[in-house]
Amino acid sequence: MKGFPARPMHPLLQILVLVGLAFAGLCLGSFVALLLITQVFGYSLAAFGQISANPAGSPQGWAALMLLQGCSLAGLGAGAALMPAVVGAPWAGYFAPRRLGSAGWPVAAGALILVLIPLMSVLVAWNADVHFPAFLHGFEVWARASEDQAGALTKFLTQFGTVGRLLVGVLVIAVVPAVAEELVFRGVMQQNLVRWFGSRHAGVWAAAAIFSAIHFQFFGFVPRFVLGLVLGYLYEWSGNILVPMAAHFTNNAFQLVLLYLVQRGAFGWNTAFDPDSTDALPWPLALVSAVLAGGLLWGLRQRMGAPRAMRTVSRQGVAVGPGQPMP
């Protein structure tokens, strides 16, 4: 496949191109969504602005916002998916230079996410109660108000009265983000940060920090950062974007299914369980979670074999060159 540049692109330049492509894809996806909303639901742009401010006040508010979110994220991922064409590399060679060593790798990655839940609950509880220094009090007030507003919208979008709504939610909130965000943050951002820094760890940690920060949820930064680390190392070890995609999907889909069960009153959870709570699970459970997750991470690292050599992306494709092994 021929690309546009006549010579290999510097990692920083690839990241800048990614930003441009992702932004363009986001804008295009949003435009398509707004066009569909005006045609399918008959809303004017002014009316849709009112729906965004008060989605519960419109009978089609839930569907319209789901359509906007799904198309926007799909556009974001499409922008990242164009990077192989830009550098002249095969798509599979760019995002998945290594075939799955086992079909069980994505399953194990999903299981790891489930095992991590009690430990992550401790991080969620701690981060939710963080207070900024006095000189950042104004920022803290703004950040909490912004997150409360975003939380209210999320709670509205995750009200699943029917199985059909649940399936739409899984598609828009689990499938699309798992594909789009992994293409952006692991498939392009992380691999180029690794090359730029000349260090796998630095690249994984930097990508995880950007992944968490870009969500603009400061009182959930730490648990999302840890999730980014897990996804990043799964990608580095496996060399296949499907592995972190599977883990990312499991993280989102499990929460949606749990919410649906609670809303349906399954197993009496409507009175005994609150999935929106930021309280930590009991520490013995978190301790067991940490031990099991550590063992599973170690096992995955061993099963996935030696780390990949650092890659040089060229016009001719992805040439694998010598790199420093990850300790």
Q: How far apart are CA 52 and CA 71, in angstroms?
A: 16
Q: Calculate the CA 125 to chain-centre distance.
A: 20
Using alpha carbons, select from 98, 125, 104, 124 the residue that is nearest to residue 296: 104
Which residues neighbour 141 within 8 Å (Cβ) at sequence distance 6 or greater?
none
pLDDT value, residue 168: 96
pLDDT value, residue 240: 95
Q: Looking at the 3D structure of the chain, how many domains does it have?
A: 1
The backbone region for 160, taken as left when phi is positive above 0, alpha when psi lies in -120 to 50, beta otherwise, is beta
181, 72 contact by CB (below 8 A): no
77, 181 contact by CB (below 8 A): yes
Q: Is residue 1 part of a domain?
A: no
111-to-39, 244, 245, 271, 299 alpha-carbon distances in Å = 42, 12, 13, 27, 12
pTM equals 0.88
312, 195 contact by CB (below 8 A): yes
pLDDT digits (tens, 9 = 90+) for 171-209: 999 999 999 999 999 999 999 999 999 999 999 999 999
pLDDT value, residue 12: 94
pLDDT digits (tens, 9 = 90+) for 247-264: 999 999 999 999 998 888
Q: Calculate the CA 2 to chain-centre distance.
A: 30
Instruction: Determine the structural domain holding residue 76 and report its residue range.
Output: 11-320
pLDDT value, residue 295: 95
Q: Is residue 230 part of a domain?
A: yes
Which residue is associated with the tokens 């690794």? 194
Q: Is residue 3 part of a domain?
A: no
Q: Is residue 6 part of a domain?
A: no
Q: Is residue 146 part of a domain?
A: yes
Q: Is residue 327 part of a domain?
A: no
Q: How far apart are CA 266 and CA 290, in angstroms?
A: 28
Q: Is residue 210 part of a domain?
A: yes
Ordered per-residue pLDDT tens for the chain, 327 residues: 344 443 478 999 999 999 999 999 999 999 999 899 888 887 777 777 777 667 777 778 889 899 999 999 999 999 999 999 999 999 999 999 998 888 899 999 999 999 999 999 999 999 988 888 888 888 888 888 888 878 888 888 888 889 999 999 999 999 999 999 999 999 999 999 999 999 999 999 999 999 999 987 888 899 999 999 999 999 999 999 999 999 999 999 999 999 998 888 776 655 445 556 677 889 999 999 999 999 999 999 998 875 554 454 443 344 444 333 343
Q: Is residue 228 part of a domain?
A: yes
